[in-house]
Amino acid sequence: MAVRRTPSVAPINERRGLDPAQIRRTIEQAIDYEPGANPDLRGEVLAIAAFETSNPEHLAVEIGTLWTRAQEAFLTIGNRIIKARVLIEERIRGNNSHLTPAERRAQMNAEWRVFLDRLPFSVQIASQLECVARALADGKLIPAELPSNYSVAYQLTTLTDAELDAARKEGLVSPRAKRDAIINFKKRLRQARTDRETELVQRRQRIVAEMERMRRELLEIERELGGRAPVGDVRPVS
C-alpha cells in the first residue's frame, strides 16, 4: 500500500521571515500532494511569508513573482517599490557623503533606473503602483474604497482633494469604480474650470479695454478744458 506523505507546515508565526529559497522548497513539496485530500498551500505560503531584506535587488525578484501570480497584489507591489526607493536613497546617503546634492540625485536616479529595469513591467506601471500605495499610506484613499484594479485606483490618485471629494459625492470612489468613468469625470470637471477661467480672462480683458477707452476720453476732456477742473470735480489724490 502506498504511503501518502503529509506536508510538514510550520505554524503561521513560524512561517514569517522565510527566505525565498525556503518558500520555493515548501511550494515544490506541496506540488507532490494529492489535490483531493490536500489543499494547495502554495498561494497561502506566498501570501503570509514576510520578505525581509536590505537589498533592493531581492525586492525586484519578489515583485516579479507577485506580478505574475495575481494583479490584485498591486498594493503589495506598490509598497515594495516604495521600500526599494527608500533603501536605495539610504544606501546612497550613507556611502556617498562626499558627493554634492546634485551628484547624489544623479546617482539616485541612475540606481533607480537600474532597479526599475529589473521589474517585469514598465516604468509607467511602476509609477502608478507606487502612487496608489502612497495615496493609501497618506490617507488620501482608504482601503474600503480602493478599486481592485491598479489602473483604476491610479486614476483616483490624479484627482485633487477637491476633485476627490466631488468624485465621492458622485459615487466614483469605490471598489466598483470604472476607469473610463473617472477619466470622463476628471475631464468634465477640469473643462468646466477651464471654461470658467477663460470666461473670467475674457471679461477682464473687456474691462481693461473699457478702462483704457475711458482714460483716453478723460484726457481728451481735460485737454478741452485746458487743465481746468469743473466745479464739483473730485480728483483722486496722487
Residues 89, 31 share a domain: no
Residues 133, 58 share a domain: yes
Residues 88, 39 share a domain: no
Q: Report yes or no on 178 lying in a domain.
A: no
pTM for the model: 0.55
Q: What percent of the chain has pLDDT over 90?
A: 35
Residues 41, 67 share a domain: no
Q: Report yes or no on 47 lying in a domain.
A: yes
The pLDDT confidence band at residue 43, using thresholds 50, 70 and 90, is low
Instruction: Kindly tell me the burial class for residue 221, based on how many C-beta atoms sit within 10 Å of its own C-beta (0-12, 13-18, 19 or more).
Output: exposed
**Residue 191 vs residues 111, 183, 184, 187, 204: alpha-carbon distances, Å:** 39, 12, 10, 6, 20
pLDDT confidence of residue 119 = 93
pLDDT confidence of residue 71 = 53
DSSP 180-206: HHHHHHHHHHHHHHHHHHHHHHHHHHH
Residue 188 to residue 160: CA distance in whole angstroms: 14
Mean pLDDT of 96-105: 82
Range in 64-68, 112-116, 164-168, 229-233 the model is least confident about: 229-233
Closest CA to 74 of 20, 167, 143, 21: 143
- Would you say residue 12 has pLDDT above 80? no
Residues 129, 72 share a domain: yes
According to DSSP, residue 227 is labeled T
Residue 93 to residue 97: CA distance in whole angstroms: 6
Q: Report yes or no on 95 lying in a domain.
A: yes
Residue 41 to residue 23: CA distance in whole angstroms: 11
Q: Which tens digits make up the pLDDT trace of 139-197?
A: 999 988 888 788 999 999 999 999 999 999 999 999 889 999 999 999 998 888 877 88
pLDDT confidence of residue 3 = 46
Q: Report yes or no on 151 lying in a domain.
A: no
Q: What percent of the chain has pLDDT over 70?
A: 70
Backbone angles phi and psi of 116, in degrees to 5: -65, -35
- Would you say residue 92 has pLDDT above 90? no
Q: Report yes or no on 157 lying in a domain.
A: no
- 90: containing domain: 54-138
DSSP 79-107: HHHHHHHHHHHHHHHHH-TTS-HHHHHHH
**Is-contact 78 133, C-beta < 8 A?**
yes
- Would you say residue 38 has pLDDT above 60? no
pLDDT confidence of residue 68 = 55
Mean pLDDT, the chain, integer: 78
Q: Report yes or no on 180 lying in a domain.
A: no
**Is-contact 114 103, C-beta < 8 A?**
no
Mean pLDDT of 89-99: 81
Residues 34, 72 share a domain: no
- Would you say residue 36 has pLDDT above 50? no
Q: Report yes or no on 106 lying in a domain.
A: yes
Residues 58, 48 share a domain: no
Q: Report yes or no on 69 lying in a domain.
A: yes
